């Protein structure tokens, strides 16, 4: 049984989704199966989408902002919204 407190890696998360869909779990993202190739292709896209959808306290960090001549601040290049 998987609960919300379980620490899961990407493969385990994808396998949980596959099981819910009634599909056999994969052993690796590097398998040459449609399931593995699809999971590998979608995992990072979906992860970034979920992380960007909310201001998660674990997914934030502080950065020094640079003040320019017009007293405006340049946002960091790696800012995710």
Q: Which of residues 12 and 3 earns the better pLDDT score?
A: 12
| CB 81, CB 52: distance < 8 Å | yes
Per-residue pLDDT reduced to its tens digit, 22-68: 999 999 999 999 999 999 999 999 998 988 888 878 767 677 777 77
pLDDT at 3: 58
Q: Which of residues 71 and 30 earns the better pLDDT score?
A: 30
pTM exceeds cut of 0.85 = no
The string of DSSP codes covering 24-35 is PPPS-TTSSSHH
Q: How confident is the model at residue 81 (pLDDT cuts 50, 70, 90)?
A: low
């Amino acid at each position: 049984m998987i609960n919300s407190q379980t620490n899961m890696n990407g493969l385990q998360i994808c396998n949980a989704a596959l099981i819910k869909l009634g599909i056999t779990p994969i052993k690796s993202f590097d398998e040459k199966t449609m399931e593995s190739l699809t999971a590998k292709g979608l995992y990072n896209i979906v992860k970034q989408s979920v992380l960007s959808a909310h201001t998660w306290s674990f997914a934030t960090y502080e950065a020094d902002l640079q003040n320019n001549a017009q007293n405006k601040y340049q946002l960091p290049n790696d800012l995710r919204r």
